[in-house]
């Protein structure tokens, strides 16, 4: 495993989201581990922070630095160019396009900007991707025809091979055990090659098993940052209710 480096830094960050219990969510943080994690009940601020860390939400104050580079206020496209990607919990609503085939999704994600598409070659590549990622579908299958687990496999297959930071909301929510385990094998492999991963989850076992650090939100604020190896389910239970430990 590579030596952990500072992947993300958000200093004195203030975010406004009308669904937050506290609309002025001040979240000072410095994520040093290759895998970092957010947890909180719904509408407590983790989604807002994830979106701010990838340029989908402009912070009201403070700054967001990725690998030492200040990207505060930059566009989502600039974050993508910097090697930062985001996978929303809404796989079909925000990640994939209903009506488009697996082949078409992979062409769009491939970055080939030639005017004409080699559809025969794209079809062959889709077959290879489907086989490698064990996706239960065909090149001509549409995104909405896939199960949730296979949609998540497709989303991971569409990511560039080298990323600096991957932000995810509930990466295994609603998936069967086989698919969830497969997802984590892929994510841990990316971590081994230097990708920092920040994810939100409501699964306590997932938090403790896969994270290096756990950032707990309550009422729109970071309540506490924990070392996952020194944390247990009971402690997380107290923090969920807004109680410090």
**Do the beta carbons of residue 60 and residue 13 sit within 8 Å?**
no
Stated length of the chain: 245
E runs forming strands in 16-145:
25-26, 29-31, 35-39, 61-66, 69-70, 84-87
3-state secondary structure of 61: strand
Structure tokens at 63: 């700054």
**Do the beta carbons of residue 201 and residue 207 sit within 8 Å?**
yes
3-state secondary structure of 18: coil
**Do the beta carbons of residue 151 and residue 170 sit within 8 Å?**
no
The torsion defined by the Cα of 204, 228, 179 and 34, in degrees rounded to 10, comes to 150
Structure tokens at 27: 């979240």
Location of structure tokens 């598409």: 117
Pick the CATH number of 1-83+162-245 from 3.30.870.10, 1.10.8.60, 3.40.50.2300, 3.40.50.300: 3.40.50.300
85 CB-side CA count, 13 A:
18
82-106 burial string, b = 16+ CB within 10 Å, else e?
bbbbbbbbebeeebbeeeebbbbbb
pLDDT of the chain along its 245 residues, tens only?
333 445 555 555 544 433 333 333 333 333 333 344 445 444 456 788 888 889 998 888 888 888 778 898 899 999 999 999 999 989 999 999 999 999 999 999 987 777 889 999 999 999 999 999 999 999 999 999 999 999 999 999 999 988 989 999 999 988 999 999 999 999 999 988 888 898 888 888 888 888 888 888 777 777 788 888 898 888 888 887 777 77
User: Residue 158's pLDDT is what?
Assistant: 96
- Domain positions in the chain are 1-83+162-245, 95-159
222 CB-side CA count, 13 A:
21
| Alpha-carbon gap, residue 221 to 132, rounded angstroms | 41
Residue 68, Ramachandran bin (φ over 0: left; ψ between -120 and 50: alpha; else beta): left
Location of structure tokens 């930062």: 84
| Alpha-carbon gap, residue 136 to 141, rounded angstroms | 9
- Of 217, 170, 226, 165, the closest CA to residue 46 belongs to 217
User: Residue 2's pLDDT is what?
Assistant: 37
User: Residue 9's pLDDT is what?
Assistant: 56
Structure tokens at 117: 């598409």
| Alpha-carbon gap, residue 143 to 91, rounded angstroms | 9
């Amino acid at each position: 495993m590579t030596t952990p480096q500072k992947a993300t830094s958000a200093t004195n960050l203030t975010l406004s989201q009308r669904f937050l219990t506290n609309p002025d969510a001040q979240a000072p943080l410095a994520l040093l581990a290759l895998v970092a994690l957010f947890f909180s009940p719904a509408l407590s601020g983790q989604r807002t922070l994830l979106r701010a860390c990838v340029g989908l939400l402009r912070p009201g104050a403070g700054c967001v630095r990725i690998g030492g580079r200040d990207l505060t206020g930059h566009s989502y496209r600039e974050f993508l160019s910097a090697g930062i990607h985001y996978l929303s919990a809404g796989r079909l609503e925000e990640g994939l396009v209903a009506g488009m085939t697996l082949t078409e999704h992979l062409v769009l994600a491939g970055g080939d900007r030639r005017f004409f598409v080699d559809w025969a070659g794209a079809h062959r590549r889709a077959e290879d991707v489907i086989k490698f990622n064990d996706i239960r579908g065909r090149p001509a299958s549409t995104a909405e025809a896939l199960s949730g687990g296979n949609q998540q496999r497709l989303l991971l297959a569409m990511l560039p091979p080298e990323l600096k930071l991957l932000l995810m909301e509930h990466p295994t929510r609603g998936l069967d055990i086989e698919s969830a385990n497969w997802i984590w094998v892929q994510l841990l492999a990316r971590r081994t090659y230097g990708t920092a991963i920040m994810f939100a989850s409501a699964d306590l076992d997932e938090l403790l098993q896969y994270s290096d650090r756990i950032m707990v939100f309550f009422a729109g604020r970071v309540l506490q940052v924990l070392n996952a190896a020194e944390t247990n389910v009971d402690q997380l239970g107290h923090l969920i209710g807004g109680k410090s430990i």
